[in-house]
């Protein structure tokens, strides 16, 4: 049962990350199957009518197959570049995002120790001066 959970989690993660690429690959495979089926039909028709266009027919078939495969390769490379671009954006530093100009924000950033919520509650209700800002 645990193995099923691991497998389904893995499949779910892969599906969420590569959903677009998986759908594109499946549609491309269907397209290639359709091209081969049309080729067979046209080839049978040409054989029955004794027309000799086999070279042109094979060239057109492989041109379409290569076109579909090159489209897939291009879309996968584009997805990889976009993924790297988003990873680079995730690794940017906080300093580059915004500048802090208000004195309150600067004061908080310069504190050595920030008060926790429990420190504030203790100071409020017990009126102890033990908990001070450093």
Query: What rounded mean pLDDT belongs to the chain?
Result: 78
Task: Give the pLDDT band (50/70/90) at residue 129.
Answer: low
**Are the C-beta atoms of residues 11 and 22 closer than 8 Å to each other?**
no
Confidence band of 4 (pLDDT split at 50, 70, 90): confident
List, for residues 26-49, the tens digit of each pLDDT value. 999 999 999 999 989 888 888 888
- Report whether 65 contacts 35 (CB < 8 A): yes
- Predicted local distance difference test score (pLDDT) of residue 70: 92
pLDDT at position 14, please?
83
The residue with greater pLDDT, 127 or 74, is 74
For residue 15, give both structure tokens. 């599906």
Position 112 pLDDT exceeds 90: no
- 3-state secondary structure string, the chain? CHHHHHHHHHHHHHHHHHHHHHHHHHHHHHHHHHHHHHHHHHHHHHHHHCCCCHHHHHHHHHHHHHHHHHHHHHHHHHHHHHHHHHHHHHCCCCCCCCCCCCHHHHHHHHCCCCCCHHHHHHHHHHCCCCCCCC
Query: In the prediction, which pLDDT does 30 show?
Result: 93
More confident call, 99 vs 38: 38
Give, in order, the Cα–Cα distances in Å from 26 to each of 17, 32, 81, 83.
16, 10, 21, 21
> For position 134, what pLDDT does the model report?
46
pLDDT score of 66 more than 60: yes
What's the confidence (pLDDT) of residue 131?
A: 47
- pTM for this model (two decimals): 0.53
């Amino acid at each position: 049962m645990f193995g099923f959970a691991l497998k389904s989690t893995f499949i779910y993660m892969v599906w969420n990350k590569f959903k677009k690429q998986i759908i594109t690959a499946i549609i491309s495979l269907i397209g290639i199957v359709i091209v081969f089926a049309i080729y067979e039909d046209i080839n049978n028709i040409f054989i029955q009518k004794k027309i000799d266009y086999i070279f042109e027919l094979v060239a057109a078939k492989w041109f379409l197959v290569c076109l579909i495969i090159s489209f897939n390769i291009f879309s996968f490379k584009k997805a990889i570049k976009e993924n790297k671009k988003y990873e680079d954006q995730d690794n940017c530093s906080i300093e580059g995002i915004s500048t802090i100009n208000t004195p309150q924000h600067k004061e908080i950033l310069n504190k050595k120790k920030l008060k926790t919520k429990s420190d504030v509650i203790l100071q409020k209700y017990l009126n102890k001066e033990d908990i001070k800002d450093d």
